[in-house]
């Protein structure tokens, strides 16, 4: 009798364990299914198409002005964040930062908001997007910004060094200054190229890209 009870208890717990295992497998399958069908952003232009994976980092510049005035407008909004959803006419980002730039007759400045401490979402209408850029990560974007800053500084210092050749009378020093200035300019151009990112224009450009869900 005691042996039968133990066998029945074993079957009972074994059945529960099998049920639990099945539940775990079901949850895992659901998670894999959701990941497999995550939303991606696809841009197309004529026969060209570019697809970005879900959770990609984007820099999006928007303007509420008439598209014909994009090149002359100094008022724009820059949003940086992670892509979380996409539709045929908009995209939604988990914001990292939001910058509102204003340049009016008697005022020039920018309002900058960072959202690392408290998450915030922003849905951006496609018709308001002037252009967007894609980055592998926030670190990648910061690194490219660093290259851009360093490249600009080197171009400036290189130009100043080269201009000093008109002041220096000694020919040997002039040659050294020209070599130094040329090296700085060349290095600066290299940094600017390394820090550049492809810009996908969605308005007022010869090569306009369109969002496709």
pLDDT digits (tens, 9 = 90+) for 88-97: 788 999 998 8
State whether 114 and 152 are in the same domain.
no
- The pLDDT score that the predictor gives to residue 32 is 40
Domain that holds residue 183: 141-195
Return the closest-CA partner of residue 90 out of 138, 52, 36, 41. 41
State whether 51 and 127 are in the same domain.
yes
d(CA 59, CA 44): 18
110 pLDDT band, cuts 50/70/90, is low
State whether 121 and 109 are in the same domain.
yes
DSSP code of residue 195: H
State whether 128 and 81 are in the same domain.
yes
117 pLDDT band, cuts 50/70/90, is low
State whether 77 and 157 are in the same domain.
no
Domain count, the chain: 3
State whether 97 and 7 are in the same domain.
no
d(CA 146, CA 117): 23
User: Does the pTM of the predicted model rise above 0.85?
Assistant: no
């Amino acid at each position: 009798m005691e042996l039968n009870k133990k066998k029945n208890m074993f079957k009972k717990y074994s059945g529960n364990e099998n049920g639990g295992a099945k539940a775990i497998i079901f949850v895992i399958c659901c998670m894999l299914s959701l990941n497999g069908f995550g939303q991606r952003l696809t841009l197309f232009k004529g026969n060209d198409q570019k697809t970005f994976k879900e959770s990609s980092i984007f820099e999006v510049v928007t303007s509420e002005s008439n598209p014909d005035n994009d090149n002359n407008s100094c008022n724009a909004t820059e949003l940086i964040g992670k892509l979380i959803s996409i539709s045929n006419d908009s995209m939604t980002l988990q914001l990292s930062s939001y910058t509102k730039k204003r340049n009016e007759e008697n005022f020039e400045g920018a309002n900058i908001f960072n959202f690392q401490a408290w998450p915030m979402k922003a849905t951006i209408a496609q018709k308001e997007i002037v252009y967007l850029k894609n980055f592998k990560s926030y670190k990648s974007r910061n690194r490219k910004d660093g290259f851009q800053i360093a490249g600009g500084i080197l171009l400036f210092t290189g130009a100043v060094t080269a201009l000093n050749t008109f002041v220096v009378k000694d020919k040997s020093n002039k040659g050294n200054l020209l070599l130094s200035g040329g090296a700085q300019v060349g290095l600066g151009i290299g940094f600017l190229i390394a820090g550049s990112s492809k810009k996908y224009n969605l308005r007022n450009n010869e090569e306009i890209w369109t969002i496709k869900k």
